[in-house]
A = this chain, B = another copy of it.
Amino acid sequence: MAHRQDQLRRPSIHDVASRAGVSAATVSKVMAGVTTVKRENAQRVFDAVEQLGYRVDPLASDMRRARRRIIGAIMPEFESEFFGQMLTQLESLAEQRGYTLVAASSRESEARETEILARMHDWRVAGVVLAPVRNEHGPAAAFMKANGMTGVLIDRVLSDDAFDTVSADSASASAEVARELLGKGHRHVLVVGLGEQAATVRARLDGFRAAALRLAPDARIDVVLAETDVEPLRARLRDYFAKGERPTAVYSLFLKGTLVALSEFRRRGWHCPDDISLVGFDDAEWMQATWPAIAAVVQPVRQIAGHAMDVLFARIEGKQGPPTARLEPCRVLMRESVGAPGSGPHSGGRQ
């Protein structure tokens, strides 16, 4: 019961100092591993630390330096597997370097993105990993630049003149999807997607279209996009099908688009791959459990996170030089949702 009060106030460096009979400066040195402390005094400090259960207050410790040992991470959302995995990776990598990761969700809002960034600037974070809502040209990146913050942009970005960028090689992956689909005989493909303004949309779309038209110049590539919200996309997709369009395959540029496409197929009673084929950018755990399993492009989360942290810490440690733009290769998993066109009762066949 004697330590009841210990629970209220944690021991500070001065408590350790007085118990060890040395000054606070000496305790600080011992904790930092400085070797110019007499062996005997160091031992007394270790003993006092042990007895009091002392631990350094990391925030107080960071007060004197310009940047704190904190990395900020801003993701568009917390709800998806992709960003969840990304956070897990980033957290683990930050910890490995003795930093703490502080994560925030911009909830797909550029305004909130900037607010969070301002808050992280207030915290004097050493660096920021920003996954922008749209692309590298938003207000958030401008804020970071204007305030001299250190950071790296990931995911929905191409390249930037102020910050290093890391993203999946969407274009190559999309080209591979095109080769797979065209190779199976598809000549009328619908591309659906969310986030018209996202940097990755153009890369994915162009990559797909270029590869498709190279293989089959007569192929027809339709596009249905919507900005941000799922419902407008669903409405447009419904309109598209209502007009009588019957593509033999759908390529969705984002996970949510894949879900919208699937539920529209449901609604119309179309089955994959008999009536229509489906490939989605972004893999998810459930895609292998369903019937049919959904073909997907798997993003290299670990590689993106790893490279992002590498370049970020290089900048934190003062590395100069022009920003780099890294593309990490994806894997394309062709599953049962893709087949040859025209085999099902409701399928459209070629033009």
Is A1 an interface position by the 8 A CB rule?
Answer: no
Q: Which residue of B lies closest to A88 (CB)?
A: B78
Provide the residues of chain B in CB contact with A32, threshold 8 Å.
Answer: none
Q: Which residue of B lies closest to A118 (CB)?
A: B55
> Are B123 and A58 in contact, CB atoms less than 8 angstroms apart?
yes
Minimum distance in angstroms from A154 CB to a CB of chain B: 16
Contact of A105 among B8, B88, B100, B290 (CB under 8 A): B88
Is A221 an interface position by the 8 A CB rule?
Answer: no
Is A259 an interface position by the 8 A CB rule?
Answer: yes
> Are A79 and B84 in contact, CB atoms less than 8 angstroms apart?
yes
Is A2 an interface position by the 8 A CB rule?
Answer: no
Is A56 an interface position by the 8 A CB rule?
Answer: yes
Is A262 an interface position by the 8 A CB rule?
Answer: yes
Provide the residues of chain B in CB contact with A291, threshold 8 Å.
Answer: 265-266, 271, 291
If the complex has contacts A263-B288, A286-B259, A289-B262, are A84 and B78 also in contact, measured as CB distance less than 8 A? yes
Is A66 an interface position by the 8 A CB rule?
Answer: yes
Interface size on A, residues (CB 8 A): 55
Provide the residues of chain B in CB contact with A8, threshold 8 Å.
Answer: 66, 148
Is A57 an interface position by the 8 A CB rule?
Answer: yes
> Are A77 and B84 in contact, CB atoms less than 8 angstroms apart?
yes
Is A283 an interface position by the 8 A CB rule?
Answer: no
Is A85 an interface position by the 8 A CB rule?
Answer: yes
> Are A10 and B56 in contact, CB atoms less than 8 angstroms apart?
no
Is A39 an interface position by the 8 A CB rule?
Answer: no
- Could you tell me the distance between the alpha carbons of A115 and B101 in the complex, rounded to whole angstroms? 15
> Are A124 and B10 in contact, CB atoms less than 8 angstroms apart?
yes
Question: Chain B CB within 10 Å — which of A10, A58, A60, A84 has the most?
Answer: A84
> Are A58 and B259 in contact, CB atoms less than 8 angstroms apart?
no
> Are A88 and B84 in contact, CB atoms less than 8 angstroms apart?
no
Q: Which residue of B lies closest to A336 (CB)?
A: B266
Can you offer 13 A-B residue contacts whose CB atoms are under 8 A?
A: A10-B124, A55-B118, A57-B124, A58-B122, A78-B88, A79-B81, A100-B102, A100-B123, A102-B102, A103-B103, A263-B289, A266-B290, A291-B291
| 9 interchain residue pairs of minimum CB distance | A7-B148, A79-B84, A78-B84, A262-B289, A263-B289, A259-B289, A78-B87, A286-B286, A290-B290
Apart from A7-B147, A78-B85, A91-B105, 14 more pairs, CB < 8 Å: A10-B121, A10-B124, A55-B118, A59-B68, A78-B78, A79-B85, A87-B105, A102-B102, A262-B286, A263-B289, A265-B291, A266-B291, A271-B291, A291-B291
